[in-house]
Structure 1
């Protein structure tokens, strides 16, 4: 059972990193499930405080994944129309079968939202859409880094487990 949980844990950790880039998988929660699996492996010492703390960080990052692109729109001069357009575009981009819809959706959503707000100011609408795209990139970077941290944590636990077994 330990080997099954060990393999499943590392597959989930790797899947979480992949899911941080691809929209089909929720990257941080999948990575956290990998750490949870590893916590049940005998010899993998993970405190409940570390598990709960990493769960809180996972939830925060998952929420920020939706907030950061909208804030990027707002910081680049977008209105509430652009922020709503970003959020709607992100959801539509995730569920439509368009290649890279999760990237195109927030950009187009912000652009369309800003054009609905003021159709004469195309440069401001483009600026807000670029802010949405930069926010998306920042959000993706945050998820990938978190996934890598959890993967490294899992590798350290694995090394500790097997180095302890060799010493015995």
Structure 2
């Protein structure tokens, strides 16, 4: 039963890290769920209130930063709300419509189309698309770092208790 518990924890960690890159996967919520799976299999005694406060704070920070950093990229490059919405749609749809490069092309194309729909010229739409790409990549890096921190803290907490 211990092996099953650890396998599930590791699988949730892997899904969580993949979710930092592929928005269709649960990402940080999978990492967070791994802590509950560990608790169900091995007990919650290692975790105290500080563990849960710290991990929950990181989860909230990731969820907020995901949107804020992506929107910041678009806004920094002069994009409008339409390009932020288009970028978000492109992040979700891109990998399915354009397998392989859709993950990177999706936010760009979505923001680009969103900007064109507002009447922007081609230059401004392209600039907003680049901003969406920069925002997506920045957001992905932030999520990878913070989720890795969550996992490392979990391991340290388990080992030290």
Larger radius of gyration: 1
In structure 2, the partner of 1:19 is 19
In structure 2, the partner of 1:164 is none
2:123 equivalent to 1:110: no
- Residues paired across the two proteins, number: 160
Cα displacement (A) at 1:86: 1.5
Cα displacement (A) at 1:56: 4.4
TM-score normalised by L of structure 1: 0.78
CA contact (8 A) 2:58 2:150 kept: no
Moved beyond 4 Å, runs of 4+: none
Cα displacement (A) at 1:51: 2.0
Q: How far apart, CA to CA, are the structure 1 residues paired with 2:44 and 2:159?
A: 11
Cα displacement (A) at 1:37: 2.2
Report matched runs for 1:1-168 at 5 Å: 1-40=1-40, 41-42=42-43, 45-93=46-94, 95-96=96-97, 98-119=99-120, 121-160=121-160
Cα gap change, 1:110 to 1:97, in 2 (>3 Å): closer
Cα gap change, 1:57 to 1:155, in 2 (>3 Å): closer
TM-score normalised by L of structure 2: 0.81
CA contact (8 A) 1:23 1:94 kept: no
CA contact (8 A) 2:23 2:91 kept: no
Unaligned 5+ residue runs, structure 1? 162-168
Unaligned 5+ residue runs, structure 2? none
The CA RMSD measured in Å over matched residues stands at 2.5
